[in-house]
Structure 1
Amino acid sequence: MTTAEADALTVEFAGEEFSVEPGAVFTVGREGDLAIDDNLFLHRNFLTIQNVEGLWLLSNVGSRLSATVTDSGGRVQAWLAPGARLPLVFASTSVIFSAGPTTYELTIHAAEPTFRDTQPPADDDGLSTIGDVPLTHSQRVMILALAEPVLRREGTGMSELPTSAQAAERLGWTLTRFNRKLDNVCDKLDRVGVPGMRGGVRSYATNRRVRLVEHAIAARLVTRDDLPLLDVEHEGSLRGENDLGEDDA
């Protein structure tokens, strides 16, 4: 491997790969090197990738949107707000962000990462948690109903998220029950410091759903393997077997 090959990054999106060479500034947005989508909610220039004194940096050059950045194992997660930048130190870095109702995911691969994971992953005890906050079954399937389009997508790309009404119908729930579960989950995440769970009066209803999906995917709170739970929940709701009195406090 030559020095140039070792220093280069590769950006993967929707089955395509883009090389980023040292000395160049790679732009992601409606326009630029990676023109993602003709989505008016998305900035023309949203993210940039460049090598500064031997260190690769991901910068948010937009004015409104933020991105969730995580390592491939979902163990490290950062919130990249407008004007912020982060070093790209992992072999594989996932970048997840939303513009309007659409959620996007791209992956950045480094040939010679600065950080190498030498610790084996912790044993999975089967309990989904965010910090010290456990997720109940109903909270988990509520998140699954919102994240289903992203989880069913093959690789990186874009997905349209369902509305609360569509997600409630997917589960066989009433909209009132769904919104109560959504409120509880967002409150729990907000209390442990997950950003973006609260917002202004006009934007709160939409923003909390897309931000919840971003966080859930990045933190691996739900995975593709969990998707069969959606059909089980829907069928149980139709038979009246689900526990409507579950305590989500």
Structure 2
Amino acid sequence: MSSPDETTAPPPTAPASRSDASVEFCGEWFALDPAKPFEIGRDADLDIDDNQYLHRRFLQIANNDGMWWLSNVGSRLSATVSDASRTMQAWLAPGARMPIVFGLTTVVFTAGPTSYEFTVHTSAPTFFDSTPVPDGSGATTVGAVTFTASQKLLILALAEPMLKRDGTGTSEIPSSQLAAERLGWALSRFNRKLDNVCDKLSRTGVEGLRGGVGALATNRRARLVEYAVLSRLVTKADLPLLDQPHDDSDDR
């Protein structure tokens, strides 16, 4: 029995769970410090590229109360964020932030004509990816939207450089003129079909495919490519379709 002046030590508490995180870009790895925000941009901890269209400080990853957060600290550019299975996708606009809850998170964004991709890896994810089982129908659909063969070709022509690259890195998104030439189409036909594709996706809630005059042309192509690649609307396996004979009767 203890004497009256002795105190009983409280039971030890279990240490708080900790998630280590790192960023991978073009084969280079960066370990994140929970005590210090990690910044990504043209002049930041992760110096992406000397691209005048890219913010000096664009994205920030910081640990808050044991959870990692991705914030858009830029003023113009947005980023597309996806899980490893690419069944979850979010659009991170300027001023927005979101928790990093998956073991592997892919971030894609475009500055000017160039698209970039990096991945965030965490050791203790909150959620785990589950890859859906394909239905085997072969239809090209996103939700309730169905795309014609020519609309899919248009998306492929724009996404071709991004699909061809190996791993994370950069890719040039072609202009409408170059993409139209790749398909052997007149520019007017290409632009009409691009309008149709963007309208279809916008009606399902995909953001960034409509905007003000002047900024729309480049931005919507970039956003379309980001969405199509991360949602697997088009994949590298589809690229041979670009070199096959096309049925010009489909003019939707």
**TM-score normalised by length of structure 1:** 0.91
Deviations 1:94-143 (A, max 9, x none): 111111111111111112211123x4522243222122001111111111
Extract unaligned runs of 5+ from structure 1: 237-241
Q: Are residues 1:81 and 2:96 paired?
A: no
Q: From 115, 122, 128, give the equivalent of 2:140.
A: 128
Deviations 1:158-217 (A, max 9, x none): 111111111111112221221121111001011111101111111111111111001111
**TM-score normalised by length of structure 2:** 0.90
Residue 243 of structure 2 corresponds to 231
Instruction: Please identify the structure whose Cα radius of gyration is greater.
Output: 2
Listed as ranges, the matches of 1:96-115 within 5 Å are 96-115=108-127
Q: From 242, 246, 249, give the equivalent of 2:250.
A: 246
Q: 1:154 to 1:82 in 2, by over 3 A?
A: same
Q: Are residues 1:187 and 2:199 paired?
A: yes
Q: From 63, 69, 91, give the equivalent of 2:103.
A: 91
Q: Secondary structure at the match of 1:68?
A: strand
Residue 239 of structure 1 corresponds to none
How far, CA to CA, are the matches of 1:21 and 1:231 in structure 2? 47
Residue 84 of structure 2 corresponds to 72
Q: From 20, 44, 57, give the equivalent of 2:32.
A: 20
Q: Secondary structure at the match of 2:50?
A: coil
Q: Output the aligned Cα RMSD.
A: 1.7
Q: State whether residues 7 and 22 of structure 1, in contact with CA within 8 Å, keep that contact through their aligned partners in structure 2.
A: no
Q: State whether residues 22 and 50 of structure 1, in contact with CA within 8 Å, keep that contact through their aligned partners in structure 2.
A: yes
How far, CA to CA, are the matches of 2:57 and 2:71 in structure 1? 11
Q: Secondary structure at the match of 1:227?
A: helix
Amino-acid identity (%)? 60
Q: State whether residues 62 and 70 of structure 2, in contact with CA within 8 Å, keep that contact through their aligned partners in structure 1.
A: yes
How far, CA to CA, are the matches of 2:79 and 2:177 in structure 1? 26
Amino acid at match of 1:245: S
